[in-house]
Structures are given as C-alpha cells and as structure tokens.
Structure 1
Amino acid sequence: MVPTNGQLFMLANGILGGLVVLTNFVLLPIILQMILYAATIIYIGSHLSLKLKETDPVTGEKQMGESMSQKDAMMFPIIGSVSLVTLYVFYKFLSPYWVNLLLTTYLSILGIAALAATISPVLERVVPIPAKVLDRKFHITFQLPGPLKRKEGPHDFRFTVLDIVSHVVSLLVAIAWLVTKHWCLHNIFAIAFSIQMISLVSLGRFQVAFILLSGLFIYDIFWVFGTDVMVTVAKSFEGPAKLVFPVSFDPWKQSILGLGDIVIPGIFIAMCLRFDQHLFEEGLEGAPVKKKDDVIDIHQGFHKVYFTSAMVAYCLGLATTGAVMFVFQHAQPALLYLVPFCLGALLLTAVIRREWSHVWTYKEEEDNKDDKKEATDADTAAEGTQDDNDESSMESKKSQ
C-alpha cells in the first residue's frame, strides 16, 4: 500500500517531534541533527504549500500566498543587511538583556500563531474531542472606532474549536519557554516559524528564485567571512530565529543553524514540488491526470522528480557545510554550499529531462492573477446586471 501525502505528512510531524525529544537525551552527531531537522521541516512546509493551489471556500480564489517580485528579490539582501547591522549596533551599544526582552516578546506573540497553525493537523487527530465539535465554526465581526471606522471596513474573524485548542496549547508552550528558556522549546518555535514561512511564501517564478538565491549567496559570504557581524548577532540573539543543536551536555555546548539557511532554500524546494504538481496537472510528465468531481486532487501521488533532486542536493549541501565547519573550526555561511547545490540540482534535472523551457516559463502568480481578474469581471458584470434591473424597476414604476 502506497502512503498518501497526508500520511507522509503525519509521519514527518512524528519524526520532527521525536527528534526534539530524542536530542534532549541522546547526543547525535551535529551533521546528522542538522540534516534530520532541516529536511523534515522542508518536507512538511513544502507539502503544506500545495494548499496554495487550492480554492478558498469563501472567496473562490486560489490561496496563493505572498509572491515575491524581481525587485523584491534584488532588494532582499540589502534589507537583510540593514536589519543585521541594526541588530549588531543594538547589541554593541545597548544592554543585550533589554534587546532580547523586546525581540523575544514580539517573536513569542508571532510564535503562538505559527505554532498553532503547525500543530492543528496533529491535534485534530489526537485530541479526544469529536470531529463535529472541533470543526464547529465561529464568526466575529469587529469594527474599529472613530475615524478608522470610515477608513477601514469591518474586520471578520473566523475560527473553530480546533483553532482555540491549538492556540491555548501554543500559549502554554510559549509561557514554558519564557520561564525556562529551554532549548527544546526554543527549537519548537523555530520549527513552527520555518514551516509556516515555507508553506506561505511563493517566489512566483524560477527567475526570481535565481536572483534571490544568488544575492543571498553573496550576502552570506560577506557577512560571515568579511566581518564578525552575523556571528555576533547569531550568538547574542536569544529569540527563535535559529535552531540549536547540542554538541555537549556537560559542559553545555551548542551549534546553531540560522532559520534563513532552512527557509530560503525551503521556499525554493517547495516551488520545485509545486512545479512537479504543475507538470502532473498539465499531463507533461506522461502520467494520466486523475480528477475527482472535475477537480484535481492535490493529495494523489505524482512524480516528484524536481522536489526529490532538490531535497537530496540540499542535504548534501548541508552535510558539506558541517564537514567544512569541523575541518576549519570556523563558522560557515551555509548558503555558500546550499545555493550551488540546490540551483545545480534544478538545472541538471531540467537538462536531463529536456524540460528547461517548462522550468523557465513556469509562473505561479499568473494563474492567481487570472483568477482574480475573472472574479473582478464577474463582480462587475453582476453589478451591471443589478443596475440594469434597478433601472428597469424604476421605469416600470414611472409608467405605472
């Protein structure tokens, strides 16, 4: 029996949870810890990103997340550099305690939402509450007071009992982390941040991915080898913007991996998975397209050639990073190795399969824009029909 994506997703969640518990008692090799954590996070986030192609039940539009433009990709290393230097200055001239207190409080609030969204699918299956109760929906409309009432419309909040349960559990984890500062709880929030970012952000096109990864390739090399800025900030920052791996329990020693080294390649790998799905939907991979009620089921199996090659390349790049780090006993810019491995895997796979033209012309935002245009046209047509009906009614009343 071939497992479905949903079953594999639950298995990956179980592996990730097991790793968090296991590494608290067993000292695994650092390279193995990095690969197991990062690969599992990217797998979960990538498969969650398939929902970006689903249709929103309320608006009827595809749930495409944040899409990055070429300008955004070119500006990203610059904005990242400004933010990095700002944090460096804060840690140098202000008390690290107050800087970490502010950032930790802010990230804790965001972390509760990220963790709640991540653990919801798991809680849905393990919480001993009937599915009908968990799926019960609530709808609250909130209107801002004063001048903002005219500027902004009412805000709608839709949630279920499952959302309440997941947020309560996340709040308890956040409180435990703020009190104990335990590295396992720290990693739980870092994992949740990474999974949600990978699942929600779309690069739109592979051209944008090449620009972004190339820019961050130079960015990472400069700030790690050229200055002490990135290493200083990474060691001083206590918020869940990195994964912590124990090197020794007694005395306590740790190694770290920045979330950018997981999220940025992860967003690229997730797009490779959606590209595999695109080839399947278009029938370009030679496999029959199976539909259910005239809608393609994203949970059915399809050939994940580009996703698999990118994942293998990422693991090899991360292993290379760890090996070089141990040989030279110096912090390494992980993107120095991850970017060539990931981009090289995409190029090599496309050339071997003779699908480079499909790779280069693939656009995720195009379908989303077309859907929005069609929805807008439909709304305009509906408004026009309503106006015509109103005019006809007025004329009828006048004639009477």
Structure 2
Amino acid sequence: MASSNTTLAEASNITTMAGRSNSTEAASPYSFHFGMLLNPDYLLVEAQVIFSALSIIWLGAHASLRRPPSAAHAKPKNGKKKVKDVQFAEGFTASDAIMLPVTAAIVLVGLYYALEWFKDPDIVNRVLRIYLSTVSIASLGAAAGHGLDIITSLVFPGLWVDRKGTLYRVDSDHQHQVKVGEGDVETEVVEIKTPFPSFLSTLPLSHGKIQAAWEIRNLLTEEWTVRLAAHGLGLAEFSIKLNTLLGFLIAISTTIAYNTTKWFFLPNLLGSAACYSSFSLMSPTSFSIGSAILVGLFFYDIIMVFYTPYMITVAKKIDAPIKLVFNTGRGVSMLGLGDIVVPGMLMAMALRFDLHQFYHKQMKLEPIDLVSELATATPGETVMVSETQYRRVKPTYADPEGQWGNRFWTTKLGSLSPVSIATSVRAATAFPKPYFYASMLGYFAGMLVTLTMLLVFNHGQPALLYLVPGVTGSLWLTALARGELKDMYGYTEDGSMDVEDVIVEVDSTGKTIEAVKSTAEEKGETKDNKTGKEAVARTEKGEGDYDVFLFSVTAPRRRAPKRD
C-alpha cells in the first residue's frame, strides 16, 4: 500500500508498491515486524489486489479459448457455414523476447522526460486519459458483450438437467424442449413450451408471453452477418450479435463518463477490460518464447525500479487507466496492468494447452490400407504392395462460447462438474486444467512474496521479480512431474500443428513411431479455399458483377415454428 503523503506506486505497467500511513511514521526509522502482515487493513486491501488480478486472468484466459490443433471442427448443422477459427492478432516470435523489454524501456523513459519537459503532469495525463480511454472502447465493448452473453446463457441455456438427472435441450426451431440421452441423442419431446430451464419452465405464462420469450431468446442468441465492400479496397464480412452492439454502447458511455466525471471505479474498469481483451489478442506462440519474454521483462522490471528513477517517478505522476488502484483509509495500493498481462498471457496459453491435451488424449487411430507400386527386378514390371497404417482421428471440438449457462444448469447442487450425460458441456468447460491451476498457484505465491517484500523493505518492488519465477517455474515443474516436458516444449500456436489426415506408424504397443502429413492438408486445398480462389479468378478476369459499395446486415429468417 501507499500512503496519501508518501506515494510509492507503480509505473506504466509492471510494479506494485506499498508505503506507510502517516508522516510521523515516515519520518521515524522504519522497522519491520511480522505483526504488520496481520494488520486487518493491510490484509483486506492486498486481498483485493490479489483477487482482482486472479479474477481478470481467469476470465481472460477462458475468453481466449479456441479450437486446439488436436480437435476437429464440429460439423455445421442446418446448412450453416463452417465456422472459421479466430486467429490471434499478435503471435510473438523469439526476437520479441529482446524487443519487448527495449520497447517498454523506450516508452517509460519517453514518459519520464515528457513529464519533466512539460513540468505540469496534468497536460500529459489529459492526453493519456483521452487516448487510452478511446483505445479501450474496443476492449471494454468486447468484455461487456461477453458479459451479456453469459447473462443470456444463464437465462436462456441450451441444456439443463432436472433433479432426477434427466437432460433437456431447448429447441428454438420447434419452440419446445426434448429429452437427451447418452451420446447426445434426442429421445423424447416433452410438454415444455417455454425456453426457460428447470423450475423457471413451470412458471404459469400466457401464450403471448411465451412467444415473446422465444423471440427474445432468438434475438439475443442469433448471429447477424455484416458485409462491407468498397471497389478497390476489398470485402469485409463478419458475424455480430445484439449483445456485442449493446456492449459497445456500454463501452462508449463508460468512456464518456470517465472523461467527464471523477468516479473512482471507472479507471479500474477500463484497465481490467484492457487486460481481459489482451489475452484473446496476443499469444506467446510457444512456452519457450513466452518464458523468454517473461525473463526479458523480469530484468527490465528490476533495472527500472531499483537502478533508475524512471519507474517510480512516472508512477507517481501518471493518472491514467494503466493500473488498478485500491483506496483505503490508510493509503492506496496499486497494481500495474503489466503485472497482470505479462504473466497472464502465458497462463492463458497454459489453459489452451490443457484443452489441447484433453483432446489429444482422445485421438483414435483408424487402420487404413495403403497401396503402393514398386518396381521389380524385371524391367517394365511393377508389383502392388499393400501396407496397413493408421490415421489419426481427431475428436470433435465443443465450443465453450455460450456454455457457461449450460454448465450452471447441468450441475447438480453440491457438485462442481456437470452431469456425465452432458458430454459437450463437460468437454467445453470442465476439462482437466492442471497447468492452468498450477500457474494460478504460482501467481498467487508470487503476489504474496511481493506484498511481503513491500513491508519488509518499505520500498516499491518490481512485481515481476517474484511473479515470473512463480508462473514459469510452476508450469515447467508441472510438465516435469507429469512427464510431459516434450509435449509442452513442442506445443505451438503458429498453426503448424493443425493438420488433418495424419498417417502414423505404430509399434507393437500401439505407440506412435512416425507421423506423415497428408499432401492435401499441407497444400491447404480445402473446399472452402478452392471456392474462394475460383471467385477471385473470375473477378480478375473481369467476369461477373462486382460491388462498388456495399453495406448490409443480414439476420436469419424466422419462420413459423416447426411442428411434429
């Protein structure tokens, strides 16, 4: 914590600091005693700091989940298009382990001298507040939209279970509900005409209210297709939900309020949203690169806090959403966004690796006969040779988007996991997470050590000095203990692992000896991109019509409910 008269806070992104509560104590010799760690005010504030950081990382890591290379796309239903994978906007390379600390140092030193040059920090603060809050609209809009999606899934889930353990699915097309058995097979239509789950489905509603509930469900869950084209500039096409639009309205309103009011929680809200969204945009690409980046910033943090005036000076004077601030009657405690984002991006990758391992262990080997033509000793003659090999068959991916409401309504009271019959919900939300939980524990331990050192030395501490060993150490030691060091080291999110129709050789114990990628996958000649290439070829030849300017929003056509 930091006091109101001696503010020892953290700078643009990486340091947490603490101070004492009054000027009398500040003037007297400082003496640490362990009883200070048990001070109720100190414990309360630092509990807020740790809980806030872990909550942001937990939510952001789960929002960053996407189909791992060990899982196959789910088959499209009802004539829908194949869902395309969302790619990371920033995939770090090995050179970033050097460039990120250098870039961070340049920004920090630049801020320091800007403050010195202007003399008045309000000028720099005003510019930073306007710039950062405007940039944060996209992050806060995405976070708010995801929050509304979770609320929608709680009110209108797709699956729920009753007290007897019977699983039900809500069918929007038929506007009724059906029982679901083993293997996700629908077994029986039930007399439930509302879109609500559990006891909510028994509410006495009129026919008009029930129809209105179905319409609201469809409006909040369906996706609209937005197309924007300009001749010579290209075509952009993407899907959007009503909740996404509402989220951006919330974000714009929050940004305006932040720049016009003094509400203390708004900077924390903007900063938290920026951290949350960063995990879905950035990937360390591999654990080795991520660990190297953290090590580079580890040394950067130590140098800037202990050996230069830049970090503390900037932290004391900058008033912008670059840190989380927790006020108490005894002082202020601060945590830089970098202390969340830097280790958090590796922790988010650990969660995605857990998901990859979950599906990888479900892969099956399907025997196939490969026929090859071999030349014989006689010129002009060949022999057909048949050989049995095995093809890896990936399990089908269960998208976690919109599944949190399903998990809530398919988990019995007193249990932590959905019922076993809800296989898709369990796969999407309740898969084993040993690496992610290990990294959370390492982060928690690192924060405890950081906060303890604040009191021991009564001086600002570089948080990454303790967080980096805690997070990276917990991950690599977990891999060592589980015998998965090779898997963890070889895991990458650069797309090279995402192959299909892989033929492998196995030994007598069924263990894979060698894997060979199929030529079709290596070339990427799927049906979708072939169609796209043909369309581009027609356009280049001048065939067919083209759009000079186009903006359209297309919603799924709602027909009368299907009746069996």
* Alignment TM-score, normalising by the size of structure 1: 0.78
User: Do the aligned partners of residues 76 and 379 (structure 1) sit closer, same or farther apart at CA in structure 2, a change above 3 Å counting?
Assistant: same
- State the distance in 2 between where 1:305 and 1:327 align: 33
1:97 paired with 2:183, answer no
Name 2:11's counterpart in structure 1. Answer: none
Is there any run of 5+ residues in structure 2 with no aligned partner, and where? 1-40, 75-79, 156-212, 364-392, 401-427, 501-520, 539-564
User: Do the aligned partners of residues 386 and 173 (structure 1) sit closer, same or farther apart at CA in structure 2, a change above 3 Å counting?
Assistant: closer
Name 1:274's counterpart in structure 2. Answer: 352
| 1:141/1:157 contact within 8 Å kept | no
Of 77, 83, 94, 1:70 maps to: 94
Of 482, 495, 502, 1:366 maps to: 495
> CA-to-partner distance for each residue in 1:281-313, whole Å, 9 max, x for gaps?
11089xxxxx99933455142211111111001
Of 1, 26, 41, 2:56 maps to: 41
Aligned letter for 1:187?
N
Aligned letter for 2:136?
G
Is there any run of 5+ residues in structure 1 with no aligned partner, and where? 1-25, 144-148, 286-290, 390-400
Aligned counterparts, 1:246-257, within 5 A? 246-248=327-329, 253-257=331-335
Q: Post-superposition shift, 1:67? A: 1.0
Name 1:258's counterpart in structure 2. Answer: 336
Of 104, 109, 115, 2:140 maps to: 115
1:133 paired with 2:219, answer yes
Aligned letter for 1:295?
Y
- State the distance in 2 between where 1:234 and 1:282 align: 45
- State the distance in 2 between where 1:388 and 1:248 align: 69
Percent of pairs with identical residues: 33
Aligned letter for 1:263?
V
Name 1:353's counterpart in structure 2. Answer: 482
Aligned letter for 2:141?
A
| 1:64/1:368 contact within 8 Å kept | no
| 2:65/2:352 contact within 8 Å kept | yes
Structure number with higher relative contact order (C-alpha < 8 Å, ≥ 6 residues apart): 2
**CA-atom RMSD in angstroms:** 3.4
- State the distance in 1 between where 2:357 and 2:223 align: 37
Q: Residue 361 of structure 2 aligns to a residue in which SS?
A: coil
Of 397, 403, 423, 1:295 maps to: 397
- State the distance in 2 between where 1:296 and 1:109 align: 35
Q: Residue 181 of structure 1 aligns to a residue in which SS?
A: coil
| 2:56/2:275 contact within 8 Å kept | yes
Q: Post-superposition shift, 1:375? A: 4.3
| 2:227/2:238 contact within 8 Å kept | yes
Q: Post-superposition shift, 1:136? A: 5.6
| 1:61/1:368 contact within 8 Å kept | no
| 1:269/1:307 contact within 8 Å kept | yes
| 1:281/1:296 contact within 8 Å kept | no
- State the distance in 1 between where 2:96 and 2:536 align: 41
Q: Which shows bigger deviation, 42-51 or 361-370?
A: 361-370
Name 1:243's counterpart in structure 2. Answer: 324
Q: Post-superposition shift, 1:123? A: 2.1
| 2:57/2:276 contact within 8 Å kept | yes
1:167 paired with 2:248, answer yes
| 1:324/1:332 contact within 8 Å kept | yes
Aligned letter for 1:89?
Y
1:84 paired with 2:108, answer yes
1:203 paired with 2:227, answer no
Between Structure 1 and Structure 2, which shows a larger proportion of strand residues? Answer: 2
Q: Residue 139 of structure 1 aligns to a residue in which SS?
A: strand
- State the distance in 2 between where 1:99 and 1:92 align: 10
| 1:350/1:359 contact within 8 Å kept | yes
1:315 paired with 2:444, answer yes
Q: Residue 65 of structure 2 aligns to a residue in which SS?
A: helix
- State the distance in 1 between where 2:439 and 2:395 align: 32
| 1:27/1:247 contact within 8 Å kept | no
Q: Post-superposition shift, 1:176? A: 1.9
Q: Post-superposition shift, 1:261? A: 0.4
Q: Post-superposition shift, 1:153? A: 2.3
* Alignment TM-score, normalising by the size of structure 2: 0.57
- State the distance in 1 between where 2:124 and 2:299 align: 28
- State the distance in 2 between where 1:45 and 1:388 align: 41
Q: Post-superposition shift, 1:122? A: 2.4
Q: Residue 257 of structure 1 aligns to a residue in which SS?
A: strand
Q: Residue 461 of structure 2 aligns to a residue in which SS?
A: coil
- State the distance in 2 between where 1:180 and 1:104 align: 12
User: Do the aligned partners of residues 131 and 182 (structure 1) sit closer, same or farther apart at CA in structure 2, a change above 3 Å counting?
Assistant: same
Q: Residue 96 of structure 2 aligns to a residue in which SS?
A: helix
Q: Post-superposition shift, 1:126? A: 4.7
Name 1:50's counterpart in structure 2. Answer: 65
Aligned letter for 2:442?
A
- State the distance in 1 between where 2:292 and 2:473 align: 14
